[in-house]
C-alpha cells in the first residue's frame, strides 16, 4: 500500500471527497480516493481476537482469553506479548486497525460487556492497556482504546445520559485512557455510545478537548458503530470518522454544512487530515488494500494462548490442599460447562475460532474421567449446527439464499453455502450480484438424536422464520414477535417448540427465514444491522431432579470431583446487561448437593464478571477460570492437575450479594439517565470505605505454594516512590506472586479512598528461592486527586503511606513518605 503526502493530498481533494473521507466505505473500511492514491484501510474487532471482515461465515481466528482474564494476570510483559500476537493476527486478516482494547470500568457486576474490560481499578486497567497497545503497535498495527468514556452498561446504551461528577470522571473513568495514551500514544480512540452529563461524547467538544488539547493526543477519533448523532456538531467537536459506512450523517449534508458556513473549511480539513494521517500510518504495516484474509493458527501461538489462559486462572480457595488433583486417580467431571467450550463473551468480542477445547476434553487428555451433566447453563438452546449433517454427510447444513419467499413460483437461487455454525448474523453477508437487504434463506440439515426423548428447538431472528421437522411446523417466529437481546439487541426472543424424537432416527430439519425487512414492527430495533440474522438451537429436555441425582451419585463414588459451572456468551454479551448475578437455574442446587455428597469437590466457575455463590462456605476448592479462548479446556486442566501453578489475581471485587455492590441503586437507565452515585467509590474503594465484606476481595488469588514478603525499604524522590522488598517462596513448588503497592493519604482535606493501587509486579520464584523486588511508582499519579475547584489535579501537602502486599486485603508491609508542598498540574 503506497505512502501518501498528507498535506499535498489534502490540498487536491474536492469538498465532496473530503466529506467522503470522514465516513466509512462499508462496515469495516474507510473510504478510498482512487484518483489521488488514497487507499481504504481496514478495521476489525478485537479485543480478544481479530475476526476479520465478517460476522457471518468468516475466516477462523485465534481467540485469546477475555479482558477480565487478561486483567487477572497482573502481568505487563505477558500482556505486551498478547498485543504482539494480536498484531500478527491482524496482519493475517488484512486489518490495519484493531478495535481494542476495551478499557471501560466494571462499576457493577451486571454489565453485559464487563468481560471485555480489564478491571474495576483504573490504574490496573490503564497500565495493562498501555502494554497491550505497545505490543500491537510493535507489529505496525494501530490500536483503538474504547469506549471514550463511561460506556459502562448496555441498557439503552445509545440514549443513556451518564451523570458523573468531574472528580469521578477524572480519577476513575478517564484514568485508564489517560494512562494508555501516556504510555503508548495509540493511533486511534473510539467514542462511546452514551451521553456524559447531557451530551453524546461523539459530539462533546469539552470531552474531546481533554484528549486533544489537555493530553496532547494526536490520532484518529472514530465513532462506535452507529454512534454518530449529528453532522455539524460532531464535526466541530472533533469526531474525525463516522463508522460504519455507508454514511448516515456525512453524505451530501456535510458539503452543504460547509458551504452554508455551519462548518468552517479549516475544521473539516482537521477531520480529513486525521483520516489521511491514519492512512499514511497504515502503510507501515505492509498490508495491501482489501487484503485477502488468511489463517495463522501456528503451534507456538496455541502454546502461548494456553499459557495466557492458565496464568489468568484464579485459585479462590484450596482448603486442605484439595488441588492439584492426582493424575493417577480418576476424576468425576460434572456440570454444564464441562462439555462446552466457553471461550468468550458475546457481541463484538465473538469470532469463529480456529478450534476449541472443552474442559472435559482437557481433563480427559490427562486422566481417566467420568461424566454427569448435573444441570444446564444455557440461556438460549445450544446451537444445533455441529449436530446436523448436510446431504453429502458433512457436519453442518446447507444454506440457500433466494430472491423471493418459498411459496413464490419464480424464486431464483442467489447463493448456496455449506455451514456448521447455526448462529447466522448475515449483516455483512455479500451475495454475488445482489445488493438488496431483502432476501430469503432456506436452511436444511439432518439431525439424528443420540437418545430418545423430548427435544426443544429454538428459533431467534432479526427478520422472520419458521422451523420444520420432517415437514411439520415446530416453531413459528413470524407473528406477534417479541424484542430480545440477540443480534446486538435487534433480534427477537427465542421462540421454542418441542417434539418427541427416537434415538438413531434421522430427522430432516428445515428453516425458512426472511431477512430483517420482513420483521414485524414490534421486533424492529433503533439500530438495525444490515439483513439481520438467524439462530437455530436444539437440546434434549432435561429432568432437573434426575440430572442432579445422577451427579450426586457419581460424586459420592469418586474421590476426585470437579464441577464446571458458570455463564457463557448468551448471559454476558454486548447489547444487554444481566438481569441478576446468579448462576443459571438449577446450578446452585446441583453444586450444593454435590458438595454435600463430596465436600472435596472442586468448583470451577467460568464467567467474565462475578456470580453469587451461596454454597461458597461449604466449598473447599474454588477456581475462577473466566473465558479462556481457544485453549480454555487445556488451560483449566493444566491448573487443576498442577502442571501450572495458579498465579492469577482478581482484577475486580466479588461481592457476596448483588445488593452489596456500589452501583446497586444506580445501575440501569431510568428515564434516559443513570446516576454514578457511588462517585469515586468503585469496587474495592467502596467496600473498604464502608467496611463492607466481600466474598473475595480485589487482588485476591492463591497458589499451590506460599510466599513471604519482608525487608521493605523505600526511596522517595521529587518525582518517584521506589519500594524494595524481599520475596521468598516458602513452599515446595515453583510459582509466581503479584506484589501490589497501594497508597494511602493519611490526613486528606477531602474524603478519599482508604487506599488505591498505584504499582504492581509479577515475579516468578523457584521453591525456596529469595529475590529482591523493586517497584517504582510515579509520585504525582500516586498522590493526586482531582480538584474540582481548580479544574486540575492536586498533589496535596501531607503524609502518605505505602502498603505493600499480595491482595487488597490482608497483611501489608508499610512505609511512610511526605509531600512538602501542595501543587497542581494538568496534562499527562
Q: Going along 686-796, which residue ranges are E strands?
A: 707-716, 720-729, 735-745, 756-765, 770-778, 785-787, 792-795
Q: Which CATH homologous superfamily contains domain 302-376+543-652?
A: Glycoside hydrolase family 3 C-terminal domain (3.40.50.1700)
Q: Name the residue ranges covered by the structural domains of the chain.
A: 14-285, 302-376+543-652, 380-540, 707-825
Per-residue pLDDT band at 528 (split at 50, 70, 90): low
pLDDT tens digits for range 536-585: 999 999 999 999 999 999 999 999 999 999 999 999 999 899 999 999 99
Residue 1 has pLDDT above 80, yes or no: no
Alpha-carbon gap, residue 332 to 359, rounded angstroms: 12
Q: What is the pLDDT of residue 521?
A: 59
CA 253 to chain centre: 35
Give the containing element (helix H, strand E) for 603. Answer: strand 602-606
Q: What is the mean pLDDT of residues 595-618?
A: 98
Q: What is the pLDDT of residue 527?
A: 58
Mean pLDDT of the chain: 96
* Identified catalytic residue from 75, 152, 224, 428: 224
Give the pTM. Answer: 0.96
489 closest CA partner among 451, 447, 534, 525: 525
Q: What is the pLDDT of residue 197?
A: 98
Specify whether domain 707-825 bears CATH 2.60.40.10: yes
User: Would you give the end-to-end CA distance of the chain in angstroms?
Assistant: 34
pLDDT tens digits for range 349-401: 999 999 999 999 999 999 999 999 999 999 999 999 999 999 999 999 999 99
Q: What is the mean pLDDT of residues 791-806?
A: 98
Are 393 and 355 in contact by the 8 Å Cβ rule? The answer is no
User: Is 224 marked active-site?
Assistant: yes
Neighbour tally for 71: CB within 10 Å:
28
Residue 524 has pLDDT above 70, yes or no: no
3-state SS, 144-208, equals CCECECCCCCCCCCCCCEEECCHHHHHHHHCHHHHHHHHHHCCCEEEECCCEECCEEHHHCHHHH
Per-residue pLDDT band at 252 (split at 50, 70, 90): very high
pLDDT tens digits for range 608-651: 999 999 999 999 999 999 999 999 999 999 999 999 999 999 99
Q: Which CATH homologous superfamily contains domain 380-540?
A: Galactose-binding domain-like (2.60.120.260)
Q: What is the pLDDT of residue 530?
A: 80
Percent of the chain with pLDDT over 70: 99
Residue 523 has pLDDT above 50, yes or no: no
Are 629 and 608 in contact by the 8 Å Cβ rule? The answer is no
Same fold, 14-285 and 302-376+543-652: no
Q: Which of these CATH numbers, 3.20.20.100, 3.20.20.300, 3.20.20.370, 3.40.309.10, describes 14-285?
A: 3.20.20.300
Amino acid at each position: 500500500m503506497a505512502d501518501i503526502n498528507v498535506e499535498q493530498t489534502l490540498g487536491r481533494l474536492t469538498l465532496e471527497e473530503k466529506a467522503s473521507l470522514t465516513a466509512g466505505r462499508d462496515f469495516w473500511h474507510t473510504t478510498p480516493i482512487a484518483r489521488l492514491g488514497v487507499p481504504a484501510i481496514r478495521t476489525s474487532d478485537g479485543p480478544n481476537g481479530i475476526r476479520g471482515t465478517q460476522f457471518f461465515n468468516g475466516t477462523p481466528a485465534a481467540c485469546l482469553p477475555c479482558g477480565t482474564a487478561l486483567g487477572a494476570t497482573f502481568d505487563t510483559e505477558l500482556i505486551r506479548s498478547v498485543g504482539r500476537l494480536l498484531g500478527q493476527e491482524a496482519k493475517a486478516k488484512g486489518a490495519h486497525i484493531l478495535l481494542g482494547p476495551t478499557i471501560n470500568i466494571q462499576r457493577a457486576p451486571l454489565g453485559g460487556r464487563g468481560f471485555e474490560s480489564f478491571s474495576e481499578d483504573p490504574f490496573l486497567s490503564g497500565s495493562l492497556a498501555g502494554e497491550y497497545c505497545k505490543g500491537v503497535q510493535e507489529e505496525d498495527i494501530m490500536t483503538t482504546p474504547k469506549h471514550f468514556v463511561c460506556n459502562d452498561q448496555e441498557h439503552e446504551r445509545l440514549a443513556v445520559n451518564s451523570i458523573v461528577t468531574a472528580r469521578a470522571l477524572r480519577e476513575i473513568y478517564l484514568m485508564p485512557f489517560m494512562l494508555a495514551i501516556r504510555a503508548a500514544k495509540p493511533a486511534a480512540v473510539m467514542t462511546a455510545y452514551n451521553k456524559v452529563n447531557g451530551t453524546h461524547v461523539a459530539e462533546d467538544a469539552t470531552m474531546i478537548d481533554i484528549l486533544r488539547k489537555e493530553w496532547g493526543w494526536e490520532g484518529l477519533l472514530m465513532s462506535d458503530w452507529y454512534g454518530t448523532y449529528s453532522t455539524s456538531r460532531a464535526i466541530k467537536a472533533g469526531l474525525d470518522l463516522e463508522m460504519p459506512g455507508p454514511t448516515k450523517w456525512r453524505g451530501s449534508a456535510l458539503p452543504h454544512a460547509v458551504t452554508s458556513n455551519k462548518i468552517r473549511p479549516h475544521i473539516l480539513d482537521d477531520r480529513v487530515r486525521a483520516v489521511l494521517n491514519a492512512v499514511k500510518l497504515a502503510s507501515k504495516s505492509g498490508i495491501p488494500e482489501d487484503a485477502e484474509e488468511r489463517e495463522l493458527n501456528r503451534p507456538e501461538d496455541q502454546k502461548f494462548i494456553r499459557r495466557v489462559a492458565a496464568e489468568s486462572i484464579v485459585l479462590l480457595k484450596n482448603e486442605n490442599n484439595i488441588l492439584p488433583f492426582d493424575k493417577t486417580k480418576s476424576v468425576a467431571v460434572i456440570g454444564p460447562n464441562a462439555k462446552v467450550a466457553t471461550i468468550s463473551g458475546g457481541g463484538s468480542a465473538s469470532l469463529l475460532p480456529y478450534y476449541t477445547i472443552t474442559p472435559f476434553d482437557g481433563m480427559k487428555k490427562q486422566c481417566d474421567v467420568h461424566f454427569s451433566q448435573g444441570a444446564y447453563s444455557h440461556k438460549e438452546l445450544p446451537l444445533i449446527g455441529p449436530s446436523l449433517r448436510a446431504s453429502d454427510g458433512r457436519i453442518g447444513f446447507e444454506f440457500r439464499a433466494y430472491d423471493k419467499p418459498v411459496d413464490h413460483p419464480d424464486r431464483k437461487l442467489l447463493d448456496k453455502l455449506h455451514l456448521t455454525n447455526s448462529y447466522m448474523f448475515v449483516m455483512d453477508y455479500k451475495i454475488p450480484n445482489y445488493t438488496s437487504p431483502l432476501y430469503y434463506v432456506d436452511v436444511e440439515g439432518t439431525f439424528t438424536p443420540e437418545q430418545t426423548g423430548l427435544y426443544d428447538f429454538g428459533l431467534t431472528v432479526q427478520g422472520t422464520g419458521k422451523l420444520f421437522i420432517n415437514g411439520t411446523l415446530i416453531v413459528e417466529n413470524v407473528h406477534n414477535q417479541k424484542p430480545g437481546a440477540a443480534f446486538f439487541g435487534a433480534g427477537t426472543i427465542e421462540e421454542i417448540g418441542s417434539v418427541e424424537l427416537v434415538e438413531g432416527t434421522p430427522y430432516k430439519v428445515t428453516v425458512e427465514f426472511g431477512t430483517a425487512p420482513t420483521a414485524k414492527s414490534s421486533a424492529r430495533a433503533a439500530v438495525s444491522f444490515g439483513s439481520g440474522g438467524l439462530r437455530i438451537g436444539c437440546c434434549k429436555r432435561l429432568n432437573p431432579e434426575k440430572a442432579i441425582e445422577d451427579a450426586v451419585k457419581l460424586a459420592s463414588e469418586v474421590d476426585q470431583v470437579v464441577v464446571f459451572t458458570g455463564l457463557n456468551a448468551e448471559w454476558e454479551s454486548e447489547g444487554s446487561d444481566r438481569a441478576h448475578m446468579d448462576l443459571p437455574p438449577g446450578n446452585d442446587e446441583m453444586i450444593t448437593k454435590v458438595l454435600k455428597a463430596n465436600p472435596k469437590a472442586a468448583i470451577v466457575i467460568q464467567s467474565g464478571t462475578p456470580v453469587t455463590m451461596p454454597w461458597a462456605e461449604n466449598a473447599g476448592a474454588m477456581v475462577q477460570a473466566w473465558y479462556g479462548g481457544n485453549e480454555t479446556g487445556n488451560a483449566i486442566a493444566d491448573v487443576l492437575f498442577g502442571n501450572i501453578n495458579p498465579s492469577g489475581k482478581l482484577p475486580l471485587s466479588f461481592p457476596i450479594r448483588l445488593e452489596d455492590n456500589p452501583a446497586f441503586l444506580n445501575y440501569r437507565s431510568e428515564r434516559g439517565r443513570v446516576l454514578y452515585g457511588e462517585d469515586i467509590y468503585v469496587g474495592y474503594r467502596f467496600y473498604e470505605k464502608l467496611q463492607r465484606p466481600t466474598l473475595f476481595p480485589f487482588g485476591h488469588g492463591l497458589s499451590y505454594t506460599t510466599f513471604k514478603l519482608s525487608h521493605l525499604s523505600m526511596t522517595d524522590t521529587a518525582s518517584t516512590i521506589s519500594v524494595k522488598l524481599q520475596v521468598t517462596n516458602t513452599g515446595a513448588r515453583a510459582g509466581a506472586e503479584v506484589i501490589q503497592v497501594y497508597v494511602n493519604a493519611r490526613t486528606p482535606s477531602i474524603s478519599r479512598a482508604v487506599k488505591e493501587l498505584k504499582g504492581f509486579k509479577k515475579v516468578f520464584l523457584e521453591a525456596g528461592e529469595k529475590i529482591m523486588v523493586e517497584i517504582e511508582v510515579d509520585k504525582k499519579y500516586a498522590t493526586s486527586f482531582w480538584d474540582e475547584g481548580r479544574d486540575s489535579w492536586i498533589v496535596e501537602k501531607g503524609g502518605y503511606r505505602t502498603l505493600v502486599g499480595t491482595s487488597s486485603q490482608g497483611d501489608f508491609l508499610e512505609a511512610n513518605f511526605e509531600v512538602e508542598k501542595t501543587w497542581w498540574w494538568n496534562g499527562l
